[in-house]
Homo-oligomer: A and B are copies of this chain.
Amino acid sequence: MKLSKTSEYAIRILSYMAKENNELFSAKQLIEKLGVSDKYLRKLMTLLSKVQLINSKQGRYGGYCFSKNTKDIYISDIINAVEGMDKYLGCILGFDDCSDENPCSMHEVWVETREKLLKTFSETSLYEISQKNSLKI
């Protein structure tokens, strides 16, 4: 499994925000803490606010905050917003029409692993990982 770098950053940023649990975060603050470049982080935050995972407020005393409880934001939501989750759930050999009825030669072998993958992403919430005792941000 390899998420896009942008997905990695999105999860890192949002899990940091979940851990800190502030009312509002400025881009400046996040950039300092997370070591992401200014423009790159801002572009990403704008995307995340467009898909309503966070809210943004422009102007003086503006910033970013969660739009809902972190218990209701799953890793799959974040991946979906940034790069689309679908590609991780398709046929491992790239056949568009691969299914139980019309399987590719790896279908049977792959199905179970794919389910595990989906389960991991769609059942892990930001809140859950924010509770972990990790030194990394």
Contacts and interface: CB of A to CB of B under 8 A. Distances in A.
Interface residues of A, number: 41
B92 A136 contact: no
Contacts of A124: 106, 109
Contacts of A129: 105-106, 109
Contact of A2 (B15, B88, B113, B128): B88
Q: How many copies does the complex hold?
A: 2
A120 B110 CA distance: 7
A117 B113 contact: yes
Contacts of A107: 132, 134
A93 interface: yes
Interface string A6-46: 00100110010001000000000000000000000000000
Interface stretch (A49-57, A59-67, A95-103): A95-103
Given A15-B105, A103-B132, 5 more contacts: A1-B88, A15-B106, A109-B120, A110-B120, A113-B117
